[in-house]
Amino acid sequence: MIESKTKKIRDESWDFRTANTKRYTHCFHPYPAMMIPQVAGRILDDFGKEAKLLFDPYCGTGTSLVEANLRGINAIGTDINPLAQLIAKVKTTVIHPQILDKYLKDFNDFIFQIKLGTIKVDPNIPNFKNIDYWFKKETQFWLAIIKEYIQQIEDQDIQNFYKVAFSETVRQVSLTKNSEFKLYRMAPQQIEKSNPDVLSVMVEKLVRNRNGMVEYISLKDNDAISKIYDFNTVYQIPEDILSPYSVDIVITSPPYGDSRTTVAYGQFSRLSNQWLGLEELNEVDKKCMGGIRKREIKNFGFEPLDKVLSQIADIDKNRVYDVVSFYIDYEKSINNVSKVVKKGGIVAYVIGNRRVKGIEIPNDEITREFFERNEFKHIKTIIREIPNKRMPKRNSPSNIAGVTDTTMNHEYIVILRKEE
């Protein structure tokens, strides 16, 4: 362990290199730049032993919510991506194995009868933009059958459980490169060979998720619940979501920059959202922090941030607007999150220091500064290596062939306490 004068600690025990990150309902559905459960769990164990309520303002698919519920802590999550909200809800909703097994048997019987020819199906294939570009005709046919089957499930919790498996199936059987989170079409030779067994993929996801739910229930010996809201914390948090001074601990992994130029959450979710009828095209990315560009250069009154903005502006006067727009929204969000935390409460932000035009932006220091302006005191910042996130080690910031730069290899766990 290495500690600096600025309370930054490089601690390899936080790397969790060999940890199984897919236990319990964490095995449900991939999602970009997910915080691993071991990080959220350890923060709770170290700083949240007395906590009664956790808040995750950018909850994604609910990693911190699951970990809180496993420890008997109630949780509130907000997110603006409808697919993420759906997954987080399903991961934290207990469904007993006997019920799941009954519905799985019904689905397997349905598939068997279709293959046997005793049930005739003529599904209504959705007509969204570029469906033929991303899905072969036969794949569309089988996905449409599954979609209509799901729609007739009356139990809403079960229907949502099936929708999560269906969403992952959609992505896996599409003509996208599944090694990428952004939408890239397979090479022509791969497309020619692509012939996915859609029904088998769906069953595989359902069985895996069923087993994850069983493991989750076996450990969750308490009545803790999670509530997930469609809300953007750039705006003031209404009291019907959270009252001021009500939260014991905040654990979250916020976006590292605007969605369009960093992790395209909306792009990753697009095909699933279209099949599920959740959201159109780029609406998610537009709603993210910095999603609407503000054509201004703001002085934030914090030298490390103002310095990098000036450096980026010298290189690209247009690109700096994206960066400024994100930090305007990020500061607003932190101001609003701060209001709901109790005095003495903890915030833990797991964040990466991104690079723009080859210039590293110190997100950890910016996060610390924004919270300190809201009467928080910095406890420490833990630096961990990112061994497992699906991110390129290098990217092309200028979009010039052959000109690359390093991306994020470390995360910073910024921990602060609200002053009494």
Q: Are 296 and 324 in contact (CB under 8 A)?
A: yes
Total domains in the fold of the chain: 2
The residue among 192, 218, 244 that closes a domain is 218
Q: Which residue has the higher pLDDT, 267 or 336?
A: 336
Choose among 247, 251, 216: nearest CA to 44: 251
Per DSSP (E only), the strands in 30-168 are 53-56, 74-79
Note whether 87 and 117 are same-domain residues: no
Place of tokens 């896996």: 172
Amino acid at 296: E
What was the pLDDT predicted at 348?
Answer: 98
Q: Are residues 173 and 259 in the same domain?
A: no
Q: Are strands 376-385 and 8-10 parallel, antiparallel or unpaired?
A: parallel
Do 78 and 120 lie in one domain? The reply is: no
The CATH code of the domain that includes 254 is 3.40.50.150
Instruction: Give CA angle at 73 (19, 237), nearest 5°.
Output: 105
Q: Alpha-carbon distance 374 to 334, whole Å?
A: 8
Query: What contacts 188, CB < 8 A, 6 or more positions away?
Result: none
Q: Is residue 316 located within the same domain as residue 364?
A: yes
Q: Which of 218, 251, 286 is the last residue of a domain?
A: 218
Of the residues 218, 250, 282, the one at which a domain ends: 218
pTM: 0.91
pLDDT for 107: 97
How many Å separate Cα 329 from the centre of its chain? Answer: 18
Q: Is the pLDDT of residue 148 over 80?
A: yes
- Domain check: are 230 and 354 in the same one? yes
164 shares its domain with 247: no
User: 180 and 279 share a domain?
Assistant: no
CA atoms within a 13 Å half-sphere pointing along the CA-CB vector of 52: 5
Confidence of residue 259 (pLDDT cuts 50, 70, 90): low
Tell me the pLDDT tens digit for each residue of 190-205.
Answer: 998 899 999 999 999 9
Closest of 392, 414, 70, 411 to residue 219, by C-alpha: 70
> Per-residue pLDDT for 35 more than 80?
yes
Residue 7, helix vs strand vs coil: coil
Interstrand relation of 2-3 and 74-79 (parallel, antiparallel or unpaired): unpaired
Kindly state whether residues 48 and 114 are assigned to the same domain: no
Residue 343, classed as helix, strand or coil, is: strand
Cα–Cα distance between 234 and 335 in angstroms, integer?
Answer: 9
Same domain, 397 and 279: yes
Please report which confidence band the pLDDT of residue 367 belongs to, taking 50, 70 and 90 as the band edges. very high
Nearest to 347 by CA among 328, 324, 364, 327: 364
Q: Which residue has the tokens 């059958």?
A: 145
Count other Cβ atoms within 10 Å, centred on residue 298.
14
27 neighbors 21 (Cβ within 8 angstroms): no
* 354 residue type, one letter: R
118 and 263 assigned to the same domain:
no
Rounded to whole angstroms, the Cα distance separating 136 from 50 reads: 53
- Please check whether residues 122 and 244 belong to one and the same domain: no
Domain that holds residue 144: 97-218
Q: What pLDDT digit, counting tens, does each position of 82-92 carry?
A: 999 999 999 99
Tens of pLDDT, residue by residue over 266-321, are: 778 889 989 998 865 456 767 787 777 777 788 999 999 999 999 999 999 889 99
Name the amino acid, one letter, at 394. Answer: R
pLDDT at position 393 over 80: no
Same domain, 178 and 224: no
